[in-house]
């Protein structure tokens, strides 16, 4: 018998009560949020529970919502139950002022590089990560390029038509 989304949801609510919020099923995939200070407890529960068994971390990244003051960054964990072939999405929100989130590297070795990437692009500070430094961008980079306040374009160029390349101008 395959694991249903309702089953996952009821098990989570049974364990964590009101802490788990914003349940959603987009395209049949369950997603939910929890406060960032219990992210490891939730992941551990999803990992250890005999029926849930979300023991594979498919992806870990972040999303920047600049308009949500106080919880601008969402760290997203994509988890996979290989036995029942069920996937879920788990998010924790944090502010850009103190973007501290506990590291999942103790639970998933795969989280190591993915957390480095998330730090590299969004500046999420994974507390307890063994080697939190940039992984894809140049070491000298002094900002987090995927945050929306930074333009994507290379700011050193002067020979391109600014209107066509997103550096000001009138075309939006």
Partner 1 sequence: MRPVRFNIHPKEAVTSTAISVTEAPEGYSGEGFFTAKLSDVVGLARKNSIWPLPFATSCCGIEFMATAAAHYDLARFGAERMAFTPRQCDLLMVMGTIAKKMGPVLRQVYLQMAEPRWVLAVGACASSGGIFDSYSVLQGIDQIIPVDVYVPGCPPRPEAILDGFMKIQELVGQESIRRRNSTQYKALLDTYGIQ
Residues that bind partner 1 (CB under 8 A): 136-138, 141, 145, 150-154, 156-157, 159-160, 165-166
| Closer residue to partner 1 (CB): 113 or 165 | 165
Q: Which two tokens stand for residue 120?
A: 């590299």
Nearest to 33 by CA among 80, 62, 74: 74
Least Å distance, CB 138 to partner 1, is 5
DSSP 51: T
164 three-state secondary structure: helix
Torsion sign, CA atoms 71, 103, 35, 80: positive
Smallest gap from Cβ 137 to partner 1, in A, equals 6
CA distances from 21 to 14, 17, 76, 80, 132 (A): 13, 9, 14, 20, 29
Q: Please, which residue, 16 or 165, has the CB nearer to partner 1?
A: 165
Closer residue to partner 1 in complex, CB, 82/141: 141
> Is the CB of 14 or the CB of 140 nearer to partner 1?
140
Least distance between partner 1 and beta carbon 121 (Å) = 10
Residues 15 and 22: beta-carbon distance below 8 Å? no
The minimum distance between CB 148 and partner 1, in angstroms, equals 13
């Amino acid at each position: 018998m395959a694991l249903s989304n309702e089953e996952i949801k009821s098990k989570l609510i049974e364990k964590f009560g009101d802490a788990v919020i914003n349940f959603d099923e987009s395209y049949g995939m369950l997603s939910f949020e929890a406060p960032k200070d219990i992210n490891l407890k939730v992941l551990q529960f999803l990992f250890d529970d005999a029926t849930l068994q979300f023991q594979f971390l498919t992806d870990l990244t972040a999303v920047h919502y600049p308009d949500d003051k106080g919880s601008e960054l969402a760290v997203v964990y994509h988890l996979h139950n290989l036995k029942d072939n069920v996937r879920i999405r788990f998010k924790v929100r944090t502010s850009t002022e103190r973007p501290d989130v506990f590291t999942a590297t103790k639970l998933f070795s795969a989280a190591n590089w993915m957390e480095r990437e998330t730090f590299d692009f969004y500046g999420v500070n994974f507390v307890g990560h063994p080697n939190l430094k940039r992984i894809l961008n140049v070491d000298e980079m002094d900002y987090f390029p995927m945050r929306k306040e930074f333009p994507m374009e290379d700011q050193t160029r002067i020979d391109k038509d600014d209107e066509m390349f997103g550096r000001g101008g009138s075309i939006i």
